[in-house]
Each structure stands twice: as C-alpha cells, then as structure tokens.
Amino acid sequence: MKIAKTFFSLLSESFTEFLNDKGLKLSASLSYYTIFSLAPMLLVIISTLSFFMEKSTIQGELFGQLQGLVGPAATQQLQEIIQNAQVSNKSTLASAIGIATLLIGATGVFAEMQDSINYIWSIKSKPEKGWLAYLKNRLLSFSLILTLGFLLIVSLGANAIVEVLSSELEAYFSEASVIFFYLMNLALVLTVITALFTVIFKVLPDGELRWKECMVGAGFTAVLFLLGKFGISFYLGKSNLGATYGASASIIILLTWIYYSSIILYFGAEFTKAYAKLDGVAIAPKKHAVLIVRNEVDQ
C-alpha cells in the first residue's frame, strides 16, 4: 500500500512538473528536429552496422520494426528518403560535404534532447567557445548514435536466437511455448530500451546522477514507451488518417508517433528527477554546468 502511494505521488509530481516545464511544447520541438534527423540517423546506423552484418538484413529488420510502429506507407517514405540521401561516390568534395551534412543532421535530435532535459532538470551549461561547445555536443550525440547501433545489434542477434528456439520448440510443445517466447522477446525489447534510456539520462544531460536513479527512471520510461507503442499502433490502425490528410497521411502518422515518443521521454525525465528527489539525491550540475532557478515575479 505504501509503495503504491509513493508511486502515485511520484506520478503526480512528475505530471505537475511536466506541465510547468511545458513538456508538450518541448516534445513538439523535438518532433520537428527528429523528422529531419530521422533519415540521416537511420542511414548512419545502417552504414555503421553494415561493417558487422549484411546491409539487407539490417534494413529488413529495421524497416520491419518501423512498419509495425508507423505502418507501411510511412516506412516506405522513410526508405525512399534514405535511398535519396545516399552519399554519391562521383566527387570527393561532394562526398565529404554530404557526409558532414549527414552527420550534422543525424546528431541534431540529440543536441535538442540534451537542451530540453537540461531545462527539465534546471541545469545550464556554462558558456564556452561556440565552436568548442558545438563540437563537444555533436561528438556526444554521435557516440549515442553508435550506442543505439550497438544495442540494435544485440537486439537483432538475441531476436534471431529467440525466433529459432521458438520455432524449434513449437513443433514439440504446446502453444504455451509460443506465449513463453513472446514474453521472452518482450522482456528482451524492454531491456534494450531501458539500456538506451539509461545511457541517455546518464550521459546526455549536463547533470550528475547515480546509475540507480537513471536505471529506475529509464525502466519506467521504457514501460511507458512499450505501452505507448501498442496504444499508438492501435490508434493508427483504427483511425482513417488517409481520408483526412490524403497524400500527407504518411508524414502525419510519423509525426504522431514521434510526438508521442517525445512526450514519453520527457515525462520519463521528470519522473527520474522526482525519484532522485525522493531518494534524497538531488541532480547536481557537472563541472561545466550550473543550476538555474526559475522564479515568477508579480509586478
């Protein structure tokens, strides 16, 4: 009973702070950045993973997952964008410019994410030389893209093992084995998403936080993300956006999914802050950052 009361108290505080920090506005801003960064980011991930796996295998699994989230039309549009974004080999200068533009576009979403979580946690980075701060943020963002790629490799490998075991045992056991491996796969996905959010909360913001608080907040965020995945897939399946938006339906579907995911991320950041406060560990700024205080003054 006490645990439930504490949990709902955390939810209430997180929701209040989410509204006070204009979480919906921050989510809309992140959605805007993501819609332009998504294709370059996926292209960087695919190109990086192609050193370890067949590119066709990576694309098949990746776009298969995306199709389950946003539907075939939006996935097809993403595939076309990525195909058009391929860097040409005809000119060295053009290729260099293309790669630089690609990396800037791919890392933009993480830079926006960093600023927003800093704002939510009431932290601000100290002024640095413009180019130095920009370079540091881009390198950090790129490292997170590589982390995302690594987690995708782990997920794909474990997924393949689970599918093989599931098909083998299904021939000898009842349907209970199918349910068991479905739950195992779900647990695997939850673990990978939790790991990703843990890295984001620990590394990306300019706040110092223990691994414990990061993992609890990330686990909560991952559960919300999975619930949201099923919820928004159901909504998109039932709603007839094609009739409403016509040819623009695919981009609207993609934006809807990204917007909801952004809300979940920032609500998770609020929950992490509330949990750290409850645990008696305030989020402290790193050496290159300071705490900010927001006060309302009546005149």
Does the pLDDT value for residue 16 go beyond 90?
Answer: yes
Q: Alpha helices of the chain — where are they, by DSSP H?
A: 2-20, 23-49, 55-84, 92-120, 130-170, 175-203, 211-238, 241-245, 249-278
Tell me what the mean pLDDT of segment 246-275 comes to: 86
pLDDT exceeds cutoff 80 at 258:
yes
Q: pLDDT-derived band of residue 158, with 50, 70 and 90 as boundaries?
A: low
Position 14 confidence tier, pLDDT thresholds 50, 70, 90: very high
Q: Is the pLDDT of residue 58 over 70?
A: yes
Q: Tell whether the model's pLDDT for residue 3 goes beyond 90.
A: no
| 26 φ/ψ angles, rounded to the nearest 5 degrees | -60, -40
Mean pLDDT of 217-234: 85
Token duo for residue 278: 């409850």
Interatomic CA distance for residues 78 and 92, integer angstroms: 26
- Write the pLDDT tens digit of every residue in 117-153: 999 999 887 766 555 655 666 666 666 666 665 555 5
Q: Each residue of 111-126: b (16+ CB within 10 Å) or e?
A: bbbbbbbbbbbbbebe
- Tell me the average pLDDT of the chain: 76
Q: Residue 199's pLDDT is what?
A: 86
Q: What is the mean pLDDT of residues 100-124?
A: 81
Mean pLDDT within 274-293: 84
- pLDDT band with cut points at 50, 70 and 90 for residue 28: very high
Percent of the chain exceeding pLDDT 70 equals: 67
pLDDT the model gives residue 190: 86
Sketch the domain layout of the chain as residue ranges: 35-289
- pLDDT tens digits for 160-211? 555 656 666 666 656 666 677 677 777 887 888 898 889 889 888 888 889 9
The H or E element spanning position 290 is: strand 289-291
Which of 22-31, 81-90, 280-289 has the largest mean confidence?
22-31
The span from the CA of 223 to the CA of 212, in Å, is: 17
Q: Which residue has the tokens 């950041």?
A: 269
What pLDDT band is residue 287 in, cutting at 50, 70 and 90? Answer: confident
- The pLDDT of residue 213: 92
User: What is the structure's pLDDT at 193?
Assistant: 85
pLDDT the model gives residue 48: 73
- Count of Cβ atoms closer than 10 Å to residue 131 Cβ: 8
On the question of pLDDT at 114 being above 80, the answer is yes
